[in-house]
Structure 1
Amino acid sequence: MNIRIVAVGKIKEKYLKSAINEYLKRLSAYCRLEIIEVKDEKIPEKSSDAQRMKALEIEGKRILPYLRDEDILITLEIHGHQMDSPAFAKKIENYGIQGKSQLTFVIGGSIGLSSEITNCSNWKLSFSEMTFPHQLFRVLLLEQLYRAFKINRGETYHK
């Protein structure tokens, strides 16, 4: 299986980079994984709705070149579908069974994703109703992908 993660913003924190690298190493036994970072758009702290919409539009345009029609596009959205880890693993496995071996996950920036991107989504996924920093969320996604592969292969992994 091929997995691409398109994420808005760069990881600056050393501890997050370390965690990401650990999961990339672990996942290499199960899939080919690529992380693409696109530049985040800076917006003022007290921005207007119009400024936020413009920033989302610009970030969306930066994401679009990495999306292909043949990919399964999974957007990470606070209002997406929530599921537990076994259900997530089953969904990933089912895509593979259906011959859909290219999954692209999109993680938006601090203000989310543009409607242009979410409208293209095959699956809107939410890990929680809570808000997570988008940099940390990359680690959470990688951990859940790793857990999904372990579940699907019947291998043990801590709970």
Structure 2
Amino acid sequence: MKITILAVGKLKERFYKDAVAEYVKRLSAYCILDIVEVADERTKENLSEAEREIILDREADRILERIPEKSYVVALCIAARQRSSEEMAEWLADRMNGGNSHLTFLIGGSVGLSARVIQRAQERLSFSPLTFPHQLMRVILAEQLYRWFRILRGEPYHK
């Protein structure tokens, strides 16, 4: 199984980089994980709706051109279905058994994902109704991927 995390923006803080690197290392026993970063747009406080749409549109162009061909695409969105880790492990197994050899998870920038990007995805997934920094979301997703694989294999970790 190949998994791509396609994220807007770079990880800046060392602790985020270290955490993601640790999960990339752990996940190497289960899948090929590729992290692709696309440039984010500068944002200011109190964006107008028009400014927000311009940013989303520019970032969407970058995201859409980097989505791997023939991958099953999942957009991470607050306004989407939430599942437990056990349910997501089953979901992952279903994707693998259903012939999806490549999954791509999309993480938007500080203003989210454009409607064009969300429409391109085959599925939307929410980790919480809470808003997380997009850099932290990368860590959370990597940890959850590791957890899902461990659950599938019946290996200790998930409690």
- TM-score, normalised via structure 1 length: 0.97
Q: Aligned partners of 2:36 and 2:58: how far apart in 1?
A: 16
SS in 1 for 2:3: strand
**Partner residue, 2:49:** 49
Provide the C-alpha distance between the structure 2 equivalents of 1:17 and 1:139, rounded to a whole number of angstroms: 9
Partner of 1:138: 138
- Is 1:90 equivalent to 2:93 in the alignment? no
- Separation in structure 1 between the aligned mates of residue 123 and residue 44 of structure 2, nearest angstrom: 31
Report the equivalent of 1:59. Answer: 59
How does 1:25-44 map onto structure 2 within 5 Å?
A: 25-44=25-44
What is the TM-score with the length of structure 2 in the denominator? Answer: 0.97
Q: Distance in 1 between matches of 2:96 and 2:17?
A: 29
Following TM superposition, by how much is the alpha carbon of 1:158 offset from its aligned partner in structure 2, in angstroms? 4.3
Shift of 1:43: 2.0
Counterpart amino acid of residue 133 in structure 1:
P
Count of aligned pairs: 159
- Runs ≥4 residues deviating over 3 A: none
Q: CA RMSD in A?
A: 0.9
Percent identity over the alignment is: 49
Partner AA of 2:127 in structure 1: F
Mapping of residues 1-159 of structure 1, within 5 Å: 1-159=1-159
The question of whether the paired residues in 1 share the 8 Å contact of 2:151 and 2:158 is answered with: no
Q: Distance in 1 between matches of 2:43 and 2:132?
A: 19
Unaligned runs of 5+ in 1: none
